[in-house]
Chains A and B, each alone.
Chain A
């Protein structure tokens, strides 16, 4: 029974996406309710899958009963079970927030379209995480990038169209280069299934090193463009800053991470550490990651617009994750996977609270935050918690990821990366701290500085608060999710 749940999740999400135009005919309220029920159901079922995988071990699911040589195969390991739970949990929170925030950003006739897109987005992300097939991954990636593009352009302004068009073009380059890489792998191995392809690569890579290297180069670059890893990040600030706030949160905290999961799958499950090290790939990844950590932050320093700054900050944080992967050790991977989760929560909290400032005060400019902490104490407090997490203050999940990453770096004997890590932390402080300080400690002459109760609608406030609490809880008790991540890493490196 549990084995059927992954595909049922996908079917459920897809049908909901198709149902929403009809429910929207009845009322927007129905859409909200249906969407929320579906998300809760999927959340519960992913939870069951995780518990099942934890007790019984990983399992395969063959679509239509075809054997894995020709058919599509789902591999539900602890990695995919945990990350689907992560995707759906964050997705649900952001969904709840968006049901009210959408009024500010999107025209009324587009509500139905927005939620259709949102569910297709979640559907494709779940598919990417579950699937064990290279070409199938490509199909889901295409669905994901097209829906993302539509979600960015749903606000119907010139800026959004430009950003969406740029996003579409660059992501097509990414998808196609990934596809080209898959084709080259297929040429060498004759399989699209990751496990089977990996086995034959182990046997034949000495014969076709050029093929493997080119394939790997194309795949890494393709995924890097989509995950906005440093030199390929150019589309991200525009896209994330113009999208509706809820979607920015979704894009920055989940969508980008899903591509990193693809990258982990390709690097570790398809190719394997030995071959990667023989081909000198880790060094190349390390350079990309380290420069991204610094340059993303330096660009974030000069921004005037809050959401744009958060976008650049994402680029720096993705650098942390790639750095963890590039160390190619179990400690490094643990740190990277933990940072996926912790950055997901922190960035979601940041974007959602930024959305709250825009929703209530229309406040986007960074220099206009004076005294905002008195008008919106709760969302500003969560913003501060998440910002402190980005800096790496103990008590937040950001500290745990930074500590683990530092330990992994020194374990790999690369102390100069530790220097970069710490410089990046200081840079983060330089653009997050002034906002908090201005909001809580500076006076705004125009506004009343008596502490007010938050006027934000409850539907928007609850997800923000939950995210803030989760950041602190995971920061204080990291072992709760660390055990899953360690199991996942053990699976990847086995």
Chain B
């Protein structure tokens, strides 16, 4: 009895704590935003108030502020091992307070970000020294990352009570956080690569946290795709270093444009490498596997933040290396045009693949993960437009940045909703749920807000960025290639698919008939609802006042780039939201979405699946296995010496879920078992042959 009392009190105090922290956050952000737009004369007052100004001045003049920001989560991560091995509320408070402090210090970076390009160098590390820089684009990413991370950590306290190894989870969460912040703040490609690899490895542990078979196989997929992406970035970095001589994020187009095909290799490898992390179409395969198996707070951040870091990397490298030093019109933009063309279509393919596969899913988190792929497609499309149109690409850039912010908000909120549903029902399959709105009314409302956000309904944030991206693609058609006329159509159909998908999610889980076993469930307010309210509030606020983010953050970020200033002034600053044109096209999308949903439900289209022989593993390894067996039969007749047990594991019919790498390893080991001893035993023969061969070759050459 006493124990239970203590338990209840600790929960309540946690509720109290989180409300305090959240209101502090809101107050802080309120002051900050007031400072930015000089609301209520706040900025003037602060600048004139001598004492406060000196304090702020002292803090933000510290050049080591980036290191402090990167180091703070690490301190939190290591500290929680020491402080709270067993007492979970103390430990979580500690972690949350450190993430909160990180937001505070990140806000201090604002004056630096807005005024000047800020450089800080740690010499000698890794041979070349690490550099950090903060500009407005980085600041936007930092702000959204830190706010979301803080809210998710608030959420994870309640959620992680039901999971094991909390210390390990929190530690690697902190490491990932620090790596993400480092990636965003890095001032050259080497530093970015260092933190990027750190992020891959730290988040790997989050993906496999469940320690089930599926998490291991998803984890293998994740880490190897991540490593391959890392190696692609490494190759691009070496190319850059050899040809340009410097990997700092500054314009290198003067040198690059003289390089011929090498420049396409550099940008291609970079986009491939960052695209893997961003879940771009042909290389998205890890994402729908890895995000659902991770614990919900981790998947909220994986989908909310980490894939955006990939998109941010693309923006960063493209706009720094491949953009001219100052605004010019001319052939210098030609490189970008070719690349942008490819990237736009990659984005559209990503959108289409994501939505198409999402419609077939029944597992809620997997469906959300496929939507992450599809929404990343929107962002990649925006980046593509930003590159394709050269100096007129500001609209695509705006759309991509805006959609990064918006998608981070509603996707992490949707994952949190999925987490609450799983926590209460222990069920992830939406076909087995229904009627939950009676039992979980708060969650249902939040889910509705997030779903309206992602479907792009007016007055919610998704509408804003989607209509900007729509403007972008229309501009790509008007100023560029004819084929983008079709791209615009695909864009609308895919938006309809998204609407349909979320009608499906909401109706299957929250509407309809309640299954028998959930009859006794009680509605309950939990501390994990608090952060969800905040995000839902942000979604609506952005949806109603879209100009704020645009004028406060994105337009200053645009001014750092070398886009045409007149274009920015006329089209981006003068952008009108909620025009009848946008609203009408949205109406069309919603109607189409509902039609797809109706058709899908009527004719059971959501249950169709692709045949498994279409998978790449089969196409490559099936013929190889057949060949090996054939060769063996040819050599030994009936007594094939290849271990049949090993072979059967890679066989087509026996196992469907053996991945590419495992098949490769198995084939390699079959080969090894068969030939290794043979090679070792025939040593003398091999030496004689090689010795005579080499000597003969050398003698013949002279």
A residues bordering B, Cβ < 8 Å? Answer: 166, 170, 173, 177, 209-210, 213-214, 216-218, 221, 225, 231-232, 234-235, 237-238, 279-280, 284, 298-299, 301-303, 388, 391-395, 399-400, 402-403, 406-407, 409-411, 418, 422, 425-426, 429-430, 433, 437, 441-443, 475-479, 482
Flag if B234 contacts A426 (CB, 8 Å): no
A429 interface neighbour in B194, B227, B679, B683, Cβ under 8 Å: B227
A301 interface neighbour in B194, B208, B234, B669, Cβ under 8 Å: B669
B698 interface neighbour in A214, A237, A238, A392, Cβ under 8 Å: A214
Taking the nearest CB of chain B, how far is it from the CB of A355, in angstroms? 23
Flag if A302 contacts B671 (CB, 8 Å): yes
Q: List 10 A-B contacts (CB under 8 A).
A: A213-B702, A394-B193, A395-B197, A426-B231, A429-B224, A430-B665, A433-B224, A476-B125, A479-B124, A479-B127
Flag if B665 contacts A393 (CB, 8 Å): no
Instruction: Check A443/B676 contact, CB under 8 A, given A403-B234, A479-B124.
Output: no
Within 8 Å CB of A410, what residues of B? 238-239, 242-243
Within 8 Å CB of A482, what residues of B? 127
Flag if B672 contacts A299 (CB, 8 Å): yes
Flag if A441 contacts B211 (CB, 8 Å): yes
Within 8 Å CB of A479, what residues of B? 124, 127
A407 to B664, CA, bound (A): 29
Taking the nearest CB of chain B, how far is it from the CB of A448, in angstroms? 15
Q: B64 at interface (Cβ–Cβ under 8 A)?
A: no
B residues bordering A, Cβ < 8 Å? Answer: 124-127, 190, 193-194, 197-198, 201, 205, 208, 211, 216, 219, 223-224, 227-228, 231-232, 234-235, 237-239, 241-243, 661, 664-665, 668-673, 676, 679-680, 683, 686-687, 690-691, 694-695, 697-699, 701-702
Flag if A302 contacts B668 (CB, 8 Å): yes
A411 to B242, CA, bound (A): 6
A393 to B234, CA, bound (A): 10
Taking the nearest CB of chain A, how far is it from the CB of B298, in angstroms? 14
Flag if B665 contacts A301 (CB, 8 Å): yes
Flag if B124 contacts A210 (CB, 8 Å): no
Within 8 Å CB of A166, what residues of B? 683
B124 interface neighbour in A394, A433, A437, A477, Cβ under 8 Å: A477
Flag if A478 contacts B126 (CB, 8 Å): yes
Flag if B694 contacts A214 (CB, 8 Å): no
A378 to B694, CA, bound (A): 47
Flag if A170 contacts B197 (CB, 8 Å): no
Flag if A476 contacts B126 (CB, 8 Å): yes
Q: Which residue of B lies closest to A288 (CB)?
A: B694
Taking the nearest CB of chain B, how far is it from the CB of A229, in angstroms? 11
Within 8 Å CB of A303, what residues of B? 672
Flag if B235 contacts A433 (CB, 8 Å): no
Flag if B699 contacts A210 (CB, 8 Å): yes
Flag if A437 contacts B219 (CB, 8 Å): yes
A418 interface neighbour in B235, B679, B701, Cβ under 8 Å: B235
Within 8 Å CB of B239, what residues of A? 410
Within 8 Å CB of B234, what residues of A? 392, 402-403, 406, 422
Secondary structure at chain B's binding surface: helix, strand, loop or mixed? helix
Flag if A394 contacts B197 (CB, 8 Å): yes
Flag if A478 contacts B127 (CB, 8 Å): yes
A213 to B702, CA, bound (A): 8
Taking the nearest CB of chain B, how far is it from the CB of A395, in angstroms? 7
A422 interface neighbour in B127, B235, B690, Cβ under 8 Å: B235
Known: A302-B676, A303-B672, A393-B197. 12 other contacts (CB 8 A): A210-B702, A237-B680, A279-B701, A279-B702, A392-B231, A395-B126, A403-B237, A407-B238, A425-B231, A426-B227, A441-B208, A479-B124
A433 interface neighbour in B223, B238, B680, B698, Cβ under 8 Å: B223
A221 interface neighbour in B211, B664, B694, Cβ under 8 Å: B694
Within 8 Å CB of A400, what residues of B? 126-127
Taking the nearest CB of chain B, how far is it from the CB of A213, in angstroms? 5
A400 to B124, CA, bound (A): 13
Within 8 Å CB of B697, what residues of A? 284
A209 to B687, CA, bound (A): 24
Q: Which residue of A lies closest to B243 (CB)?
A: A410
Within 8 Å CB of A210, what residues of B? 699, 702
Instruction: Check A406/B702 contact, CB under 8 A, given A170-B683, A170-B687, A393-B197.
Output: no
A484 to B664, CA, bound (A): 41
A42 to B550, CA, bound (A): 68
Q: Which of A210, A395, A400, A430: most chain B Cβ within 10 A?
A: A430
Within 8 Å CB of A280, what residues of B? 701
Flag if A406 contacts B235 (CB, 8 Å): yes
Within 8 Å CB of B190, what residues of A? 394
Flag if A443 contacts B683 (CB, 8 Å): no
Flag if A173 contacts B687 (CB, 8 Å): yes
A478 to B669, CA, bound (A): 36
Within 8 Å CB of B676, what residues of A? 299, 302
Q: Which of B198, B223, B242: most chain A Cβ within 10 A?
A: B242
Within 8 Å CB of A442, what residues of B? 211, 216
A466 to B525, CA, bound (A): 53
Taking the nearest CB of chain B, how far is it from the CB of A399, in angstroms? 8
Flag if A217 contacts B687 (CB, 8 Å): no
Flag if A477 contacts B125 (CB, 8 Å): yes
Within 8 Å CB of B231, what residues of A? 392, 422, 425-426
Taking the nearest CB of chain A, how far is it from the CB of B480, in angstroms? 32
Q: Which residue of B lies closest to A218 (CB)?
A: B695
Flag if B216 contacts A437 (CB, 8 Å): yes
Taking the nearest CB of chain B, how far is it from the CB of A489, in angstroms? 16
A213 interface neighbour in B665, B690, B699, Cβ under 8 Å: B699
A482 to B197, CA, bound (A): 24
A231 to B695, CA, bound (A): 15
A65 to B241, CA, bound (A): 50
A305 to B315, CA, bound (A): 46
Which 3 pairs between the two chains have the least Cβ-Cβ distance?
A: A302-B672, A302-B669, A406-B238
Flag if B238 contacts A441 (CB, 8 Å): no
A441 to B671, CA, bound (A): 29
Taking the nearest CB of chain B, how far is it from the CB of A428, in angstroms? 10
A400 to B127, CA, bound (A): 8
Within 8 Å CB of A218, what residues of B? 695
